[in-house]
Amino acid sequence: MDRRRFLQAGFAATAASLLSLGTGKAGAQAEQGAEDLLIVYLTRTGNTEAVAEIIREEVGGTMVRIELETPYPEDYEKIVSQVDRENERGYLPPLKTNVENIGEYDAVFLGFPTWDMQLPPPMKSFLNDHDLSGHTVIPFNTNGGYGVGSSFRTVVELCPNSKILEGFSTRGGLERDGIYLAIKGERRKEVHADVSNWLERRSR
In a domain, 100, yes or no: yes
Q: Distance (Å, rounded) from C-alpha 27 to C-alpha 35?
A: 13
Please check whether residue 139 lies inside any domain of the structure.
Answer: yes
In a domain? residue 192: yes
More confident residue, 193 or 36: 193
Encode pLDDT of 111-127 as tens digits: 999 999 999 999 999 99
In a domain, 87, yes or no: yes
Q: What is the pLDDT of residue 4?
A: 62
| 139-167 pLDDT, tens digit each | 999 999 999 999 999 999 999 999 999 99
In a domain, 22, yes or no: no
CATH number of 125's domain? 3.40.50.360
Model confidence at 135: pLDDT above 60: yes
In which element (H, E) is residue 127 found?
helix 121-129
The single-letter DSSP state of residue 71 is P
Q: Is residue 15 part of a domain?
A: no
pLDDT for residue 26 is more than 60: no
134 located within any domain = yes
Domain contains 54? yes
Where in the sequence is the domain holding 146, given as residue range(s)?
Answer: 36-202
- Phi, psi dihedral angles at 130 (to 5 degrees): -125, 125
The total number of structural domains that make up the chain = 1
- Mean pLDDT over the full length of the chain: 87
Q: Band of the pLDDT at 13, cuts 50, 70, 90?
A: low
Query: Out of 23-32, 89-98, 101-110, 121-130, which region has the weakest mean confidence (pLDDT)?
Result: 23-32
